[in-house]
């Protein structure tokens, strides 16, 4: 990925005067329409139609700023390692000075919003998991919000900022409902963690809700520990056996 002109063009377009920040205040000048505000980055759609991820600034806490930049560097590095892939977002540019990542815009948003808006005709391409694991990448956050949909409702995975690369310590951990039984925060993640998360994701696609949506997180964790998972009666028989898996099959 080469450094391109998207950010430079935006900078040149900023002709208005920016007010001086008051003590304790952080001023962020938007680059376009805000699409989301995540734990690491602000995601905006530029006038060009592309999407830019900018690490959340906080000059009053340099360690936090560096944490956000570290996640952005990892996101860009993983995308560069894998290269263009039908199941991944197309990266347009990476700015090493500002840590901004520019990528393609997908019309149908993320999987969570799409499912909740009653659009069930989605084919989840399971091979995307093998695309990651072949590069020794464990995503660690297979939430529906990290799966985006193009105009044809093809699924593309995003959000690598918290991943584990070649055994590195991740900055993200799976949420309770996508976390396998016996998960230990102090032990490095394994590929099986992603596979279990993928099963939970398929459950979300099939039902429109997370596993045990009406239970507290502590209750869900205890149910998983005794291998008690949500009822899948009535689902497609070809999908049922693959819903919850704790190990990567050979």
Residues of the chain scoring pLDDT < 70: 1-19, 21, 115-131, 234-250
In this prediction, residue 11 carries a pLDDT of 52
In this prediction, residue 230 carries a pLDDT of 86
Predicted TM-score (pTM) above 0.85:
no
Q: What is the pLDDT of residues 115-146, one digit of tens each?
A: 666 544 444 444 445 557 777 888 888 888 88
Q: Kind and range of the H or E element at 197? A: helix 191-207
Nearby residues of 50 by Cβ (< 8 Å), 6 or more positions away: 6, 92, 102, 103, 104, 105
In this prediction, residue 245 carries a pLDDT of 37
Sign of CA dihedral 84, 141, 71, 46: positive
In this prediction, residue 33 carries a pLDDT of 93
In this prediction, residue 126 carries a pLDDT of 45
Could you tell me the domains of the chain? 9-103 (3.30.200.20), 111-242 (1.10.510.10)
Question: Hunting for tokens 């593309």 — which residue is that?
Answer: 156
């Amino acid at each position: 990925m080469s450094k391109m002109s998207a950010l430079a063009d935006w900078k040149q377009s900023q002709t208005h005067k920016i007010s001086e920040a008051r003590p304790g205040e952080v001023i962020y000048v938007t680059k376009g329409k805000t699409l989301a505000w995540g734990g690491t980055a602000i995601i905006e759609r530029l006038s060009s139609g592309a999407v830019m991820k900018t690490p959340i600034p906080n000059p009053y806490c340099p360690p936090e700023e560096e944490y956000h930049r570290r996640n952005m560097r990892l996101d860009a590095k993983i995308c560069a390692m894998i290269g263009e892939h039908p199941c991944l977002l197309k990266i347009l540019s990476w700015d090493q000075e500002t840590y901004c990542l520019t990528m393609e815009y997908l019309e149908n948003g993320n999987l969570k919003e799409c499912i909740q808006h009653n659009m069930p005709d989605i084919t989840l391409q399971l091979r995307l998991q093998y695309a990651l694991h072949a590069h020794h990448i464990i995503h660690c956050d297979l939430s529906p919000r990290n799966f985006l949909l193009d105009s044809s409702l093809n699924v593309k995975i995003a959000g690598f900022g918290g991943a584990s690369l070649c055994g590195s310590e991740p900055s993200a951990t799976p949420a309770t409902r996508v976390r396998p039984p016996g998960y230990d925060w102090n032990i490095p993640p394994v590929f099986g963690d992603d596979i279990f998360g993928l099963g939970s994701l398929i459950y979300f696609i099939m039902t429109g809700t997370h596993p045990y949506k009406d239970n507290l997180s502590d209750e869900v964790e205890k149910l998983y520990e005794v291998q008690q998972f949500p009822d899948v009666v009535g689902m497609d028989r070809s999908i049922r056996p693959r819903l919850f898996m704790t190990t990567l099959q050979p």
